[in-house]
Amino acid sequence: MSKKRRNSTTIFDIANEAGVSASTVSRVLNNSMPVDPAKRAAVLKAVQNLNFKPNLVAQELGRGRTMTIGILIPQSASIFYNTIINGIEQGLELTPYRSLVASSNYRLEEERKLLDLLVARRVDAIVTLWNQVDETYLLEIAKEIPLISIGRKLSGLEKQCLVVSNFQGAYQATRYLIERGHTRIAHITGALNVPDGMQRFEGYKQALRDAGLEPDPQLIVEGDFEEQSGLFGVGVLFTRGVRFTALFAGNDMMAMGARLGFYRHGMRVPDDISIVGYDDQPGSAYTIPPLTTVRQPLTEIGIAAAQAALNLIENQEPNLPVLNTELLIRESVATVVRNDFNYKVYSPS
């Protein structure tokens, strides 16, 4: 008998080839009940002759799975979050699973509704990114559906939480500026109502204090991780008339907005002002000059989260790795020169 095309062969074809019933074929393929050895051998031989490949998706649906991983993100238009999603999809690429993305677009009141929607869609696991849903509610969901939390620790679910140290990354960035001679370092923070914004702010302050420098409130402006808040933050600093030689921006997008603000005031980077960003977003290596920044392994975060979710689905340990930040030194930071005769100070005034 000629081999049938992979997608056209059914268990009835196998049953006819093996001379057994379709239910016997089903038992052999699913290994659900004992089958007479001779009949099992006949079925397996027919499977080989017909080049039959089981439909894994159909098998899983029969077990009550939807082959879907739900992802809750704060903003759909963010390069930052989309890079992580691409990592999750890479992690799912060689599996029957696919992702279902729900975005609150920073509408906090929508996050719980979207979680309810993912649960209603019967996703097999949920991955949340930097959400602010009440922890008690997340823990209740995690009792029913495998859950991986990126960017936020959940009490009792520490093994299912992937958190890269924003504190340490901000500390590295600020410390680098101090080592280059900067003592007047401004900071445009990320949104302080979310963990990564606050952790980066704390890392900035601790690096200053460890160097014997007290953080100056006049050098700190709260932003929201968007480009326009970087531009706005520079305007606020200029209005205050404070002196500073460097700026640590809470992410690369705000650093780019700040760069425009300095350009409009005739200040060159790094000749007149040094800038460090955070996240190493696509494009940060191609700004003029290339931006010194803190790299978060975003793609690796997504891949690790996908594998952990798949592990939980199979009742295995999530095995989330420890991922660290890395300071990428490019060309946006200059050294402040001090001696007894000259003290070079960059000033927005």
DSSP state of 247: E
Give me the CATH number covering residue 81. Answer: 3.40.50.2300
Please provide residue 53's backbone torsions phi and psi, each rounded to the nearest 5 degrees. Answer: -120, 120
Whether 228 is in a domain gets the answer yes
In angstroms, rounded to a whole number, what is the distance separating the alpha carbons of residues 142 and 133? 13
Q: Give the gyration radius of the chain's Cα atoms.
A: 27
Give the per-residue pLDDT at 79: 83
Lowest mean pLDDT among 109-118, 159-168, 197-206, 335-344: 335-344
**Domain total of the chain:** 3
Q: Are 170 and 207 in contact (CB under 8 A)?
A: yes
What is the share, in percent, of the chain residues with pLDDT greater than 90? 62
Query: Can you give the residue range of the structural domain that contains 254?
Result: 166-292
Q: If DSSP codes are grouped into helix, strand and coil, which group holds residue 1? A: coil
79 and 112 housed in the same domain = yes
In angstroms, rounded to a whole number, what is the distance separating the alpha carbons of residues 100 and 305? 14
Summarised one tens digit per residue, pLDDT across range 48-66 is 888 776 665 555 555 667 8
Give the per-residue pLDDT at 178: 97
Which of 40-44, 65-69, 142-146, 327-331 is modeled with the greatest confidence? 327-331
Enumerate the H helices of the chain as residue ranges. Answer: 11-18, 22-30, 37-49, 56-62, 79-92, 108-120, 135-144, 166-179, 195-210, 227-240, 252-264, 298-313
Indicate the residue among 248, 273, 292 that finishes a domain: 292
Top-confidence residue, 314 or 127: 127
Q: Are 52 and 44 in contact (CB under 8 A)?
A: no
Summarised one tens digit per residue, pLDDT across range 66-117 is 889 999 998 877 888 899 999 999 999 888 899 999 998 778 788 989 999 9
Q: Are 67 and 61 in contact (CB under 8 A)?
A: yes
Top-confidence residue, 321 or 109: 321
Lowest mean pLDDT among 73-77, 271-275, 312-316: 73-77
Give the per-residue pLDDT at 50: 85
Whether 340 is in a domain gets the answer no
DSSP state of 15: H
**What pLDDT band is residue 136 in, cutting at 50, 70 and 90?**
very high
307 and 158 housed in the same domain = yes
Provide the residue count of the chain. Answer: 349
287 and 304 housed in the same domain = no
Whether 35 is in a domain gets the answer yes
Give the per-residue pLDDT at 322: 84
23 and 92 housed in the same domain = no
Give the per-residue pLDDT at 346: 42
Q: Are 307 and 69 in contact (CB under 8 A)?
A: no
220 and 280 housed in the same domain = yes
Please provide residue 317's backbone torsions phi and psi, each rounded to the nearest 5 degrees. Answer: -65, 140
Which pTM value belongs to this model?
0.72
Buried b (16+ CB within 10 A) or exposed e, 241-263: ebebbbbbbbbbbbbbbbbebbe
Give the per-residue pLDDT at 7: 44
159 and 171 housed in the same domain = no
Give the per-residue pLDDT at 195: 81
Task: Read off the tokens for 181.
Answer: 């001679």
Summarised one tens digit per residue, pLDDT across range 228-247 is 999 999 999 999 999 999 99
Please give the average per-residue pLDDT across 242-255, as a whole number. 96
Lowest mean pLDDT among 73-82, 132-141, 186-195, 286-295: 73-82
Whether 229 is in a domain gets the answer yes
Task: Read off the tokens for 311.
Answer: 């592990």
Question: Identity (one letter) of the amino acid at 177?
Answer: L
The answer, yes or no, to whether residue 334 has pLDDT greater than 50, is: yes
DSSP state of 219: G
269 and 185 housed in the same domain = yes
172 and 142 housed in the same domain = no
**What pLDDT band is residue 348 in, cutting at 50, 70 and 90?**
very low
Mean pLDDT of the chain: 87
Buried b (16+ CB within 10 A) or exposed e, 146-162: bbbbbbbebeebeebbb
Top-confidence residue, 342 or 43: 43
Give the per-residue pLDDT at 331: 96
Question: Identity (one letter) of the amino acid at 121?
Answer: R
202 and 253 housed in the same domain = yes
